[in-house]
Amino acid sequence: MECRKNQHKLYAFDQSPLYRLKSRKKLATLFNTSLNDLERLAKRPDNYRHFILGKERDKSRQVEVPKPKLERIHRRLFNLLRRIMPPSYLHSGVKKRSYITNAAAHVGNSRLIKLDIQKFYPSTLGWHVFEFYFDVLHCSRDVAGLLTLLSVCRGHVPTGSCLSQVTAFYAHYKMFEAIYELTQSLGLTMTCYVDDIAISGEKANRSTLYRIRGILKQRGLQSPAKKEFVYEKGYPKEVTGSIVLDDGLRLPNKKHMGMHHEVSSILRMEDSTEKLRLLNVVIGRAVAGSQSDPKLVTRIKSLLQEKTRVARIIEKKSTQKLH
């Protein structure tokens, strides 16, 4: 039991097994493989499966999924990196934090700005990743180089690996820290959820937005103007799928309407078995949504009542068949 607890213990950068790692052989040992096998794997040109998700050109995206041998390495490296103590402003990929805690951090703040890093994974290049291992974890140049080769696909962070999110964040760790230091100096609240940055407080204005945009530019990153928002005092603010108000969170009206239409469609169904299955799905979605919008509690109660009624109908039909 003690061993299991230690596996999930968080530690500072300088406590990581990767910190100041100078030996490729020791790196291979961390991955439970030989150095020769690790080096051969890093040089293979066919480590990924490539496919496209989405039919529309402007919404489709290239997905790169590591094949089993590399996926095992990625899983091990992911487990090592996620045990590093995350900064307080990071809410993605962190236990007990989520898109809801990300939005909740801004409740009650008067103004808010948010921006989105364009094509975060494809824009995170090999040199970004190398810089993290070499300058932040202080690995030797050859160890950092090997870790970089194992972590990137076609020169950038792959889009479909378990390792992608944590690697992309730490590859730009110094940049995120610079943005955080700026927001702290201005008395602002900052949160980060994957490629979404939200900043709230009295000085959350266009001037601050421009300064952050400049920090991104220094890393070769961009924030598309269409995804940048400056919310003034008194206006509802949408952050990672929730509406941030002075007194709490709410779901956006479009989500309420979508759920309403979905429930109406389910209730008109004649197939009781399929109706019960879909009721379970929508109830689960409503329960998740109720974490950010207490108004859904009433809807959940009515859905549970309908679920009980449908289950009784199915049970009655089943009993009649037996007789």
Question: Which tokens hold the place of 89?
Answer: 């402003």
The reported pLDDT for the residue numbered 6 is 44
pLDDT digits (tens, 9 = 90+) for 270-318: 888 998 999 898 888 788 778 777 778 888 888 898 889 888 888 888 8
Asked if residues 186 and 193 have their Cβ atoms less than 8 Å apart, the reply is no
Query: Is residue 133 scored above 90 in pLDDT?
Result: yes
Tens-place pLDDT, residues 91-119: 999 999 999 999 999 999 889 999 999 99
Tell me what pLDDT residue 1 has. 33
Q: Which residue has the tokens 């890393």?
A: 219
Rounded to whole angstroms, the Cα distance separating 141 from 22 reads 8
Domains of the chain: 13-243 (3.30.70.270), 253-322 (no CATH)
Sequence-ordered alpha helix ranges (H) in the chain: 2-7, 24-30, 35-43, 68-81, 99-104, 120-123, 126-131, 141-151, 164-171, 173-185, 206-218, 253-267, 272-289, 296-322
pTM of the model: 0.85
The mean pLDDT of 119-148, rounded to a whole number, is 98
pLDDT digits (tens, 9 = 90+) for 209-225: 999 999 999 999 999 99
Mean pLDDT over all residues of the chain?
91
Question: What integer pLDDT is reported at residue 285 of this predicted model?
Answer: 78
- Calculate what percentage of the chain has a pLDDT beyond 70: 95
